[in-house]
A and B are shown apart, each in its own frame.
Chain A
Amino acid sequence: MNKIKSFFSSFFKKDETKTVVTSLWCALLGLVLGFVILLCINTKEAADGMATILGNFFVFQNADDRWNYFGQTLAKTAPLIAMSVSVLVCYKAGLFNLGASGQYSIAVLVITFMGVAANWPWWLVMIGAMVAGALWSMISGVLKAFFNVNEVISGIMLNWIALYLVNGILTANSAIWDSSHSEAYKITDGSNALIPSVGLDRLFAGNSIVGLGMILILVVTIVIFVLFKKTTIGYELKATGFNPDAADYAGMNKVKNILVATAISGALAGLAASLQVQNGFTSWRLSSTIPSIGFQGISAAFLGGLHPIGVLFSSYFIEHISEGGSMITDLGFAPEVAGIITSAIIYLAGFVAFLKEMIRKSEVKDELRRLSRDKAVKK
């Protein structure tokens, strides 16, 4: 009996367990808050609305429809995973990649030219997108490494520069700009630049946007996991993130590490763009706001406990409720409501670190109380 007890107590004291528990709490809190918002808007339909958000593709009666929409959720999760891993890589190295959206935008620009206009093979386009993202991200890296410019500030600035740059260049090229929809032309079926389905579309009831990308992102996530766990590069990046002074002392090259971290991170943001656009589902839309995927990536990274494997689940969760949220318009909710709910949940994800701290503090308090009780008993 005691053995089991001690196993559980040590299990719950483990840092990983704590992270998982807090993440689950945050997700739950977010859902409760979302429900409260639904209740405020329309008391009658709130329960149904919540069920739709949580159910997502389960709301369909038809098995084929379910598979189809499940596939769609998965396919849309892939870029979010890439984005959150991008944020995570920088974070581990002590940097905060708030410029992921900008890197994503530049990558979309490159994809549109290489994929839509030039019709290059998909893998070449993907590499192009990653290189573009990496280079854009390294602008922040260079500024940080050589001039000590805060990467958060430069990242935000570069987001806006990228946004208007992409808007400007794409709209000026009538060959790739579909002005009637005010968006760039999508990558069409049969194009070289389309990421192949490798038969996965048949598994998901012919949903053609499901494809190799999902497998690729799993592989990349595992590569990043291994990078941090097993390689000298990861060892250096983490040391720099945990304690830059000690990294200096040990002779690690700060400039190199900043550049490596920003380059990997940017490449992953570029990959996110590739996974988003190269399935022919979406393209660049004229917009005056920064693509939100970069910020969702931050939420997913934190909700996933800043762990590559945790990020897989948190990204899916966020995408799942976003997709579900887009369906509640059928129940008479305004389409914006879905946005409110999902952002409430996503923002609560940022509470992970905060909650973890609360748990730690309450543990310390318990410990102190126990100590003082012991003292009292002795007296």
Chain B
Amino acid sequence: MDDVYAIEMLSITKRFGSLLANDHIDLRLKKGHILAVCGENGAGKSTLMSILFGLYEPDSGIIKKDGAEVKITNPNDATKLHIGMVHQHFKLVDTFTVLQNIILGEETIKEYRGHLNVFKRCFNWLNKHLFKIIDYQRARAEVQQIIDQYDLRVDLDKKVKDLSVEMQQKVEIIKMLYRKNDILIFDEPTAVLAEQEIQGFLQILRNLKKEGKSILFITHKLNEIFEVCDEITIIRKGKSIDTLAVKDTNKEEVSAMMVGRKLDMNQTKPSPVTGNEILRVEHLTLVDPNSKKRIVNDVCFNVRAGEIVTLAGIDGNGQQEVVYGIAGMKKSQSGSVFLHQEDISSYSVRKRIQAGLSHIPEDRQKYGLVLDYSIYENAVLDRYYEKSFSKCLFLNQKSIREYGDELTEKYDVRSSGDGSTVVRSMSGGNQQKIIVGREIERGVDLLLAVQPTRGIDVGAIETIHNLLLEQRKAGKAILLVSLELDQVLALSDRILVMYEGEIVGEFTPDSVDKETLGLYMTGAKKDKVNAIKENGHE
């Protein structure tokens, strides 16, 4: 076996505040191979790739290219070492043509190649340093050669904004090749592609490999890994778990390693006492207005009083959009939502809230809070108009303050001052406690909780878990969206796995293990599911 490594990242450690994003990670990419880097959300893949591309500097650890140690402190260093990266969000100038985008920053400058020696020197010097007239003809020829060599057909004169996502990705690839990069990093390239486009992309990867490029492929879709990759490095919670040759392993093993076989959190919870149906979602379909893709496709399920139903899945498979559809923040294409048997599909957000829906949104800073408002003002964000907080257009400051104090006390919200502290200055965990407290205190029967513990410290996570379980005990219906399997297994009574906008599996936490969930989440397995459960039919 030839042990020539194109890239070696040895014992890379990177810490963000209290978060250890990369903990002595090792990664070795062989020359001319495709290495898959896979792991759950937040496992540290993107951080690692950002370090390789010079966006972050590691706290410790070394990077070697072709066996020699190199320092990469910014993307320019990476470019000089011929390391290229296609980011998840493309970095293209919309209003430029494809050709302009490809040569941007590496423009071919016109050269005079005649015989007038003095003129030639003058002109070329001036043009190189001053005028910088671009030689589109030569640039086009060079780009065309790349296109032919790798079979990447793109119309060079079209503007990028007129291209499909698939084509834009090709432009990004050509851009890397034009810069003569031999190490190519792809950050979840297939997340934005449709099924048949993915096949085309994988073919491109094979072509690149044939031409001797070394490729790092970040993904959590196992099917793709097993189709094109040579090795897999699995990362979990900031640590590199193992590197395996694809031919010596199988999907089950990889997905088990991805999610970890660690014991579940030792939280005992009583079996559910389910009551009446609170929420029923029938054939809900949401279409993305830009890509016209169905982000939620014909989803059916219900949530009964006293149970926690979880939408599990990898980020971006439509879970959040289901909640937006229920809360009325995004218009559904078709389908209906029933709350207490009442069809609320045509209601405004306000009317749905009044009908008895509370919602802990996924992004607390974007949706859940007005960061420039105080704790008091945020405590009544979705109920300031209620009789207890206002009287004919005037806010009742006193009752708002009393209520805010009560909330901070009960939910242990800590800030540097009293309730008039602006929430922007507070920590994420405390911000989240305001939202959780506010939504629970509304005392309605349905709670939508989207990633309620995202980005907060362990102590606050535990508090929020306990609060959710208390609500369940109190007979509320809870719809949880979570990306963390530990949390899913610890809290749910029913788990619905979503993949590409559809519910592909339904489980109870004691009848399923992480490995199986992993298979469903990555699309390796699929069932046809209608997750509406009637009482007594279980």
Whether A251 and B353, one on each chain, are in contact in the complex, defined by CB atoms closer than 8 angstroms, is yes
Across the interface, which residues of B come within 8 angstroms of A243, CB to CB? 366, 369-372
A251 to B401 Cα, complex, angstroms: 22
Given A235-B377, A239-B381, A250-B382: A245 and B367 interface contact (C-beta under 8 Å): yes
Whether B366 and A251, one on each chain, are in contact in the complex, defined by CB atoms closer than 8 angstroms, is no
B201 within 8 A of A: no
Chain A CB within 10 A, most for which of B348, B366, B370: B370
Given A249-B361, A253-B348: A235 and B329 interface contact (C-beta under 8 Å): no
Within the complex, which residue of B368, B372, B373, B393 is in contact with A232, where a contact is CB–CB below 8 Å? B393
A246 within 8 A of B: yes
Across the interface, which residues of B come within 8 angstroms of A232, CB to CB? 384-385, 390, 393-395
B76 within 8 A of A: no
Which of chain B's residues has its CB closest to A250's CB?
Answer: B382
- CB of A354, distance to nearest CB on chain B (Å): 19
Whether A250 and B348, one on each chain, are in contact in the complex, defined by CB atoms closer than 8 angstroms, is no
A253 to B328 Cα, complex, angstroms: 12
Across the interface, which residues of B come within 8 angstroms of A238, CB to CB? 370, 373
A233 to B369 Cα, complex, angstroms: 18
Which of chain B's residues has its CB closest to A234's CB?
Answer: B395
A288 to B393 Cα, complex, angstroms: 43
Across the interface, which residues of B come within 8 angstroms of A242, CB to CB? 370-373
A122 to B233 Cα, complex, angstroms: 81
Q: How large is the interface on A (under 10, 10 to 19, 20 to 34, 35 or more residues)?
A: 10 to 19
**B 368-411 to A, binary, CB cutoff 8 A, 1 in contact else 0:** 11111100010001101100001001110100000000000000
A252 within 8 A of B: yes
A376 to B359 Cα, complex, angstroms: 47
Whether B348 and A246, one on each chain, are in contact in the complex, defined by CB atoms closer than 8 angstroms, is no
Whether A248 and B390, one on each chain, are in contact in the complex, defined by CB atoms closer than 8 angstroms, is no
A235 to B368 Cα, complex, angstroms: 16
Across the interface, which residues of B come within 8 angstroms of A188, CB to CB? none
Across the interface, which residues of B come within 8 angstroms of A235, CB to CB? 377, 384, 395
Whether A246 and B394, one on each chain, are in contact in the complex, defined by CB atoms closer than 8 angstroms, is no
Across the interface, which residues of A come within 8 angstroms of B371, CB to CB? 242-243
A238 to B353 Cα, complex, angstroms: 21
Given A231-B393, A235-B384: A251 and B350 interface contact (C-beta under 8 Å): yes
**A 196-235 to B, binary, CB cutoff 8 A, 1 in contact else 0:** 0000000000000000000000000000000000111101
A252 to B371 Cα, complex, angstroms: 17
Within the complex, which residue of B350, B368, B397 is in contact with A252, where a contact is CB–CB below 8 Å? B350
Across the interface, which residues of B come within 8 angstroms of A236, CB to CB? 384
Whether A248 and B329, one on each chain, are in contact in the complex, defined by CB atoms closer than 8 angstroms, is yes
Whether B359 and A249, one on each chain, are in contact in the complex, defined by CB atoms closer than 8 angstroms, is yes
Within the complex, which residue of B350, B353, B367 is in contact with A246, where a contact is CB–CB below 8 Å? B367
- CB of B61, distance to nearest CB on chain A (Å): 23
Whether A231 and B394, one on each chain, are in contact in the complex, defined by CB atoms closer than 8 angstroms, is yes
Across the interface, which residues of A come within 8 angstroms of B390, CB to CB? 232
Which of chain B's residues has its CB closest to A254's CB?
Answer: B349
Chain B CB within 10 A, most for which of A232, A247, A250, A253: A250
Whether A249 and B367, one on each chain, are in contact in the complex, defined by CB atoms closer than 8 angstroms, is yes
Across the interface, which residues of A come within 8 angstroms of B370, CB to CB? 238-239, 242-243, 246-247
Interface residues of A in 238-281 (CB under 8 A from B): 238-239, 242-243, 245-253
A52 to B329 Cα, complex, angstroms: 59
B414 within 8 A of A: no
Shortest 9 CB-CB distances between A and B: which pairs? A251-B350, A251-B349, A249-B367, A250-B382, A242-B372, A250-B381, A243-B370, A242-B370, A251-B353
> B: which residues have CB within 8 A of A?
327, 329, 348-353, 359, 361, 366-373, 377, 381-382, 384-385, 390, 393-395, 397
> A: which residues have CB within 8 A of B?
230-233, 235-236, 238-239, 242-243, 245-253
Q: Can you list 26 A-B pairs, Cβ within 8 angstroms, ordered by A?
A: A230-B395, A231-B393, A231-B395, A232-B384, A235-B384, A236-B384, A239-B370, A239-B373, A239-B381, A242-B370, A242-B372, A242-B373, A243-B372, A246-B366, A246-B367, A246-B368, A248-B367, A249-B327, A249-B329, A249-B359, A249-B382, A250-B353, A251-B352, A251-B382, A252-B350, A253-B348
